A and B are shown apart, each in its own frame.
Chain A
Amino acid sequence: MHDLSPSGLSLPSPSRRTLLRGVGGAAVLGAGIPLLSACGGSGTASDPKTVTLGSKASDPVPKKAFADIYAAYKKKSGITVDVNTKDSNTFQEQINSYLQGTPDDVYTWFAGYRMQFFAAKGLATPIDDVWKTIGGNFPEAMHKLSKGEDGKYYFVPLYTYPWALFYRKSVFQEKGYEVPTTWDDFVALCKQMKKDGLVPIAFGDKDAWPALGTFDQINFRQNGYDFHVELMAGKASWTDAKVRKVFDLWTEILPYHQEGATGRTWQDAAQTLASKKAGMYLLGTFVAQQFTDKAALEDLDFFAFPEIDPAYGQDTVEAPTDGFMMSKSPKNKTEAVKLLQYLGTSDAEDIYLKSDPSVVHASTKADTSSYTALQKKAYDMIVGAKSLTQFMDRDSRPDFTSTVMQPALQKFVRDPKGVDSVLSSIERQKKTIFASS
């Protein structure tokens, strides 16, 4: 019996372990292959009646809203939209490899620098032919948002939503507060609220992006839209006196922000507004998602961030816009173009908004009769804007905003006295990041 053991027939544990490792490795590889191919969408796109579409809309509400659009399109044109939905964060994290592999014909994405970046890298197809038919549906600001740096169109907007200061109508009524339109009124209101035992401005920056929104608002009110663009593009300096002024203004209102912001999520901060413990909250309209009580939701209202420099007034609105792009070499280009032409109509937007009422149409030709009061106000605000910004992490390089700006602003929020060293550190890091490509 013992002679047999060296021959491998009854080899003890070590070989079993190697075998298991081999099997495990094979299983990992095996599991990896379908994952990789899932990134590449379905391979059967040569079918002339099918357009493939990569989607980041993984939350139930938007997912259904998008599905409704594609169903309506199929009814109208007979073309099947083969949707490949991935978790929203994963989609964004893998976008590089996704677009370089064999992406779907059309994919969901954001307007602004984040779109222009991939357009400049040749990972998107220009769609000027699409805009020939849909151009009339959109206001000038949306045209601007949909163009790459080369002046060609790359993006079809679907919906948008503004950032603003949210408040409870009943609280303002009860305490006799007025909506502030200038900086001085705003600061005075904050003081009054503090005296009245409210947290003047709810704030949660645990996820590190909400502070970017506060900076944006103060910056384009104080320095205007053009400076915002220059700063985001890495051209203007962060040690410029203009930027310093923004932080001075911010320091002025920071004591009126909710304490302990860097440990609080935006959802928790929204709850303080919902429970009437806070007076105001600067966020996008998606804050309404946290108002599950219907009466409270109806009590919710907002106003534009107050004017700081009269030269710029309130002419800029931060309105992140989501929509679609076409990948670099779509398998079914003719149908992809037609699909995008449909997605650029107010019909498609109507269908989307029916399921997701927290956003508004990107098109000016839309039917706004079914809007809630909040939506109507948001829509008017966007239509009336002279310039639209997208939000710092969409208007600038994502590597710059996520690895430099987010931690820097968290640091500032916690310790506003250290602003000078924060700013010079931002500027130093910005130079290397923007020089690298």
Chain B
Amino acid sequence: MTTNTTKEIPEAATVPPPGAAPANKVPHGHSRLLTRRDRITLGLMAGLPTVLHIALVWVTALASIALAFTTWDGIGFDSIKWVGLENFKELFTNNPQFWPAVEHNVIWFVVLIVIPTPLGLFLAVQLDKKIRFSRVYQTAFFLPVVLSMAVIGFVWQLIYNPDTGLINSIIGANEPGKYIDWIGDPDLNLWAILIAASWRHTGYMMILYLAGLKGVDPSLREASALDGAGEWQTFKNVIFPTLRPTNTVVLVVTIIEALRAFDLVFVFNKGAEGTELLSILVTNNIIGESSRIGYGSAIAVVLLLISLIVIIPYLVATFRKERRA
């Protein structure tokens, strides 16, 4: 990205001097420049994605919002029955898994922000110092991000396996009486999974921050060094403030990660007690035979509302900034 813009700017600057060109261009008019083929191509290029987008995103989203107010077993459209707010009432008062799921989604977000994000920033700062084998470290820390979540879940589930897993075997907790049930115990399993999630998220954050740090103007560092600032002061007062755009991206990415958390947990223990998540509740209710599509949609709508509450302030802030610019 950065290389592109720096290259384009000088070019753009050299365009005006040839001078006469703009005068020639005006009489042609904008429309003459587009042949019929061009317009068809453009129409297709813009139209096809729009149609796909509307059909696959908007229609389905609105349909699932509508379904949230019905009960439907997925068999024939005539079995859809309007029930008003029943699904939500049931969800808020009777479902023993719903509130824990909301809580776990929030915990997921808080933990990702509090642990792997600063850790990723720390690693990025260290790797930015041109230490030896920097590339090797980068690769090592980034590797978990390349792996699919399902694979990560599977690997960590082997580590946590109460009978044959790495941890219990090392500390000798796989015998009757001294059991530590990392996967099944609701006081432990969420944290066990969050360690796995943080393990991956740290690498992700590291790469984002590393890219941000590469964009920091070296003269800023020089200036602050000349002013006699120490390393920590330079970081705190000069480098970190310039990382603001990166921080915004990090925040958004982390929120998205927390809301869509699913695959890791599903592979780990299918969202059993202690690790319920909204996304897993949606899946459990909708997928399968004689599914509760209305009820599952209601959970999905709750998830959508939470996403909106988080995303709207961000969008408002971004648009406001753009308008000002």
B162–A100 touching, CB < 8 Å: no
Residues of B within 8 A of A205 (CB): 184
Residues of B within 8 A of A259 (CB): 176-177, 179, 181
Q: Which residue of the partner chain, among A6, A8, A260, contacts B185 with CB atoms under 8 Å?
A: A260
A260–B90 touching, CB < 8 Å: no
Taking CB atoms and an 8 Å cut-off, the chain B residues in 164-186 that contact chain A are 164, 176-177, 179-186
Q: Which residue of the partner chain, among A2, A92, A263, contacts B269 with CB atoms under 8 Å?
A: A263
Interface assignment of B318: CB less than 8 Å from any CB of chain A: no
* Complex-state Cα separation, A432 to B96, whole angstroms: 14
Interface assignment of B270: CB less than 8 Å from any CB of chain A: yes
A93–B288 touching, CB < 8 Å: yes
Residues of A within 8 A of B86 (CB): 432
B288–A100 touching, CB < 8 Å: no
Stretch in B43-51, B61-69, B251-259 touching the partner: B43-51
Contact A264/B184 with A25-B48, A208-B270 known, Cβ cut-off 8 Å = yes
Stretch in B33-41, B194-202, B222-230, B235-243 touching the partner: B33-41
Interface assignment of B289: CB less than 8 Å from any CB of chain A: yes
Interface assignment of A407: CB less than 8 Å from any CB of chain B: yes
Contact A262/B181 with A15-B45, A407-B273, A414-B273 known, Cβ cut-off 8 Å = yes
A436–B71 touching, CB < 8 Å: yes
**Main SS of the interface on chain A?**
helix
Residue of B38, B73, B164 with highest tally of chain A CB at under 10 A: B73
Closest to A96 in B: B74
Interface assignment of A403: CB less than 8 Å from any CB of chain B: yes
* Complex-state Cα separation, A425 to B15, whole angstroms: 73
A260–B162 touching, CB < 8 Å: yes
Interface assignment of B263: CB less than 8 Å from any CB of chain A: no
Closest to B38 in A: A8
Q: Which residue of the partner chain, among A100, A258, A408, contacts B76 with CB atoms under 8 Å?
A: A100
B15–A2 touching, CB < 8 Å: yes
A3–B25 touching, CB < 8 Å: yes
Shortest C-beta distance, A113 to chain B (Å), equals: 10
Interface assignment of B307: CB less than 8 Å from any CB of chain A: no
A425–B49 touching, CB < 8 Å: no
Q: Which residue of the partner chain, among B52, B177, B179, B289, contacts A96 with CB atoms under 8 Å?
A: B289
Interface assignment of B310: CB less than 8 Å from any CB of chain A: no
Shortest C-beta distance, B196 to chain A (Å), equals: 15
A18–B273 touching, CB < 8 Å: no
Interface assignment of A121: CB less than 8 Å from any CB of chain B: yes
A7–B34 touching, CB < 8 Å: yes
Closest to B173 in A: A260
Closest to A431 in B: B94
Residues of B within 8 A of A2 (CB): 15, 21
Residues of B within 8 A of A19 (CB): 45
Stretch in A332-340, A384-392, A394-402 touching the partner: A394-402
Taking CB atoms and an 8 Å cut-off, the chain B residues in 62-112 that contact chain A are 71, 73-76, 79, 81, 86, 90, 94-97
Q: Interface digits, A118-155 against B, CB 8 Å rule (1 contact, 0 not)?
A: 00010100000000000000000000000000000000
Residues of A within 8 A of B315 (CB): none
Number of A-B contacts defined by CB within 8 Å? 148
Residues of B within 8 A of A264 (CB): 162-163, 183-184
B183–A262 touching, CB < 8 Å: yes
Shortest C-beta distance, A97 to chain B (Å), equals: 7
Interface assignment of B284: CB less than 8 Å from any CB of chain A: yes
Closest to A422 in B: B96
Contact A22/B181 with A208-B272, A414-B273 known, Cβ cut-off 8 Å = no
Interface assignment of B42: CB less than 8 Å from any CB of chain A: yes
**Main SS of the interface on chain B?**
loop
B90–A3 touching, CB < 8 Å: no
Interface size class of B (residues with CB under 8 A): 35 or more
A262–B290 touching, CB < 8 Å: no
Contact A398/B288 with A100-B76, A263-B184, A268-B163 known, Cβ cut-off 8 Å = yes
* Complex-state Cα separation, A100 to B72, whole angstroms: 14
A18–B288 touching, CB < 8 Å: no
B15–A7 touching, CB < 8 Å: no
Shortest C-beta distance, B163 to chain A (Å), equals: 5
Closest to B95 in A: A429
* Complex-state Cα separation, A8 to B269, whole angstroms: 51
Residues of B within 8 A of A96 (CB): 73-75, 289-291
B161–A399 touching, CB < 8 Å: no
* Complex-state Cα separation, A429 to B52, whole angstroms: 38
Shortest C-beta distance, B25 to chain A (Å), equals: 6
* Complex-state Cα separation, A304 to B123, whole angstroms: 60
A22–B45 touching, CB < 8 Å: yes
Shortest C-beta distance, B253 to chain A (Å), equals: 20
A22–B179 touching, CB < 8 Å: no
Taking CB atoms and an 8 Å cut-off, the chain A residues in 88-104 that contact chain B are 92-93, 95-97, 100
Shortest C-beta distance, B39 to chain A (Å), equals: 9
Residues of A within 8 A of B177 (CB): 259
A121–B185 touching, CB < 8 Å: no
B49–A260 touching, CB < 8 Å: no
Contact A123/B75 with A397-B290, A432-B90 known, Cβ cut-off 8 Å = yes
Residues of B within 8 A of A399 (CB): 73, 285, 288-292
Shortest C-beta distance, B20 to chain A (Å), equals: 12
Q: Which residue of the partner chain, among B30, B162, B176, B186, contacts A6 with CB atoms under 8 Å?
A: B30
Residues of B within 8 A of A22 (CB): 44-45, 48-49, 52
Contact A410/B272 with A92-B288, A264-B184, A425-B94 known, Cβ cut-off 8 Å = yes
Residues of A within 8 A of B15 (CB): 2
A410–B273 touching, CB < 8 Å: yes
Interface assignment of A433: CB less than 8 Å from any CB of chain B: yes
Interface assignment of B287: CB less than 8 Å from any CB of chain A: yes
Closest to B52 in A: A25
Interface assignment of A114: CB less than 8 Å from any CB of chain B: yes
Interface assignment of A64: CB less than 8 Å from any CB of chain B: no
Residues of B within 8 A of A436 (CB): 71, 73, 81, 292
Residues of B within 8 A of A429 (CB): 90, 94-95
* Complex-state Cα separation, A6 to B272, whole angstroms: 56
* Complex-state Cα separation, A202 to B181, whole angstroms: 15
B33–A95 touching, CB < 8 Å: no
Residues of A within 8 A of B185 (CB): 260, 262-263, 414
Shortest C-beta distance, B115 to chain A (Å), equals: 23
Interface assignment of A235: CB less than 8 Å from any CB of chain B: no
Shortest C-beta distance, B112 to chain A (Å), equals: 24
Interface assignment of A21: CB less than 8 Å from any CB of chain B: yes
Interface assignment of A201: CB less than 8 Å from any CB of chain B: no
8 A-B residue pairs with Cβ-Cβ distance under 8 Å, sorted by A, are: A8-B42, A18-B49, A93-B289, A114-B289, A121-B76, A123-B75, A206-B269, A260-B180
A6-B30, A100-B75 known, 11 other contacts, Cβ within 8 Å: A7-B38, A8-B38, A18-B46, A25-B52, A96-B73, A96-B74, A206-B183, A259-B177, A399-B73, A402-B288, A428-B94
What 7 pairs across the A-B complex have the smallest Cβ distances?
Answer: A262-B184, A263-B184, A263-B183, A260-B181, A25-B52, A263-B181, A259-B179
